[in-house]
Amino acid sequence: MVKLAERLSRLPFLFLFRFILGLVFLYASLGKVLDPQTFAENLLAYRIFSSALVVRYLAVTLPWIEWFCGIFLILGLFVRSVSILASGLLLAFGVAMSSAMIRGLEINCGCFTNAHEVVSSFTLLRDSLFLVMSLVVLFSRVDSFTLQNFIARKKQRSDVLE
Amino acid sequence: MKRIAHIGAIKVVCVDLTIILLSSLIGVSLNKSFVRGRQQTTFAFERSNGKPVFRPITASDHKSYPVFGGIELAELKKVMQSREMVLLDGRSQPDYESGHLPGAYHLAVADFEKALPLFSSQFAKDTRFVIYCRGGDCSLSRRLAELLYDKGYVQVRIYWGGYNDWFLGGNPVEKGKGRSFLSVWSN
């Protein structure tokens, strides 16, 4: 298992997965950060939350969590922690979308920048794909093109020189 | 070795908690009034490229109908207290049952013709109505207003913010069957 993770870490697709996920999260967060009211309406449409305060709180907090996930994934900082958060978010979105589909709700999914996109098997499949990518990033060794590895290597070199 | 793994796991959890906390702080501090439910929403019934846009109905949109007047949240609250107007919910039955404005009657656009006999027997033509639906891009309230206008109920205003505006403002809601014109109810 460790060997497999080590081999995977050398492959460029890990960097690609991390970078694509980062861009997706960053793009998804921007519209919601600017317009929390619409995002709150989208959350409300799922009919999962009974408290308005919870909806309002989630509507202003979730976009910023997505924003941090996006930035850190692109830069390659705290990759393990951020991929756990990203996987959790994608799993929660997937469960919410499945529940809406089972209940026959035709609602705006609220996936990207508040654009109109009805919850469908396509949006669920796309979410699952991102979840798989996020889990691969989580369970593989951190790829070599990250800022955190660059910092670690620099520190190692300066330690050796001293 | 185990200790290192534990330290690693604690570090991961700490970073996650910091991100969540930081996101909460930034999100809440940038949207204080919204989180407290005091923000008056400015949205209306249409969207352009996914963004809510206020565009009042013009005569060219509905040549055979007048421009129905709107009503804002503050005025609606006053009207509800004085009971000078009747609230009508134009959404579907499950939407109405999962939560509606206190005292609102349910008259779904889809069941309008079926519900009309009972509705007509309860309300005179000069009754003043406030209609709402989900809010935002929901067009049910306008459609219901048109249907009522056709039947001679001309004193109709629309709460464009709708249920979402009301609920997100932290205002009380009623749940359950309430007063639906398709089920037996007594006033």
Sign of dihedral through CA atoms B173, B124, B158, B140? positive
- In whole angstroms, give the CA distance from residue B108 to residue B68: 18
Contact state of B50 with A31 under an 8 Å Cβ cutoff: yes
pLDDT of residue B185: 44
Domain ranges within chain B, ordered by starting residue: 2-30, 46-180
CA dist list (Å): B15 to A80, A150, B22, B175: 10, 19, 10, 41
- In whole angstroms, give the CA distance from residue B131 to residue A130: 41
* Residue B70 identity (one-letter amino acid): G
Beta strands in A13-159 (DSSP E): none
Tens digit of each residue's pLDDT (9 = 90 or more) over A20-37: 999 999 999 988 888 887
Judging contacts by C-beta atoms under 8 Å, the chain B residues touching residue A68 are 19, 22-23
pTM of this structure: 0.66
In chain B, % of residues over pLDDT 90:
17
pLDDT of residue B2: 65
Give me the number of domains chain A comprises.
1
Q: What is the largest CA-CA distance in chain B?
A: 81
CA distance A160 to chain B (A): 23
CB-defined contacts A:B, below 8 A: 94
Q: What is the mean pLDDT of chain B?
A: 78
CA distance B177 to chain A (A): 17
Strand ranges of the sheet holding B156-158, from the earlier edge strand across to the other edge: B69-70, B156-158, B129-132, B86-89, B105-106, B179-180
Judging contacts by C-beta atoms under 8 Å, the chain B residues touching residue A55 are 167-168
For the ranges A71-85, A136-150, B52-66, B118-132, the lowest mean pLDDT is seen at B52-66
CA dist list (Å): A145 to A63, B7, B74, B90, B122: 26, 24, 55, 55, 72
Indicate if the pLDDT at residue B6 is higher than 80. Answer: no
For the ranges B12-26, B82-96, B136-150, the lowest mean pLDDT is seen at B136-150
> Domain span at residue A144?
2-161
Q: What is the mean pLDDT of residues A87-102?
A: 95
Taking CA B3 as the corner, what is the angle to CA A161 and CA B4, rounded to the nearest 5 degrees? 35
Interface membership of A113 toward B (CB under 8 Å):
yes
Pick from A124, A130, A25: which is nearest to B19 by CA? A25
pLDDT of residue A61: 95
Interface membership of A26 toward B (CB under 8 Å):
no
pLDDT of residue B51: 44
In CATH, the number for domain B46-180 is 3.40.250.10
Q: Which phi-psi region, left, alpha or beta, contains residue B178 (left: φ > 0; alpha: ψ -120 to 50)? A: left
Question: What interface predicted TM-score (ipTM) does this complex get?
Answer: 0.86
pLDDT of residue A40: 84
Q: What is the mean pLDDT of chain A?
A: 86
Indicate if the pLDDT at residue A159 is higher than 50. Answer: yes
Pick from A103, A99, A81: which is nearest to A91 by CA? A99
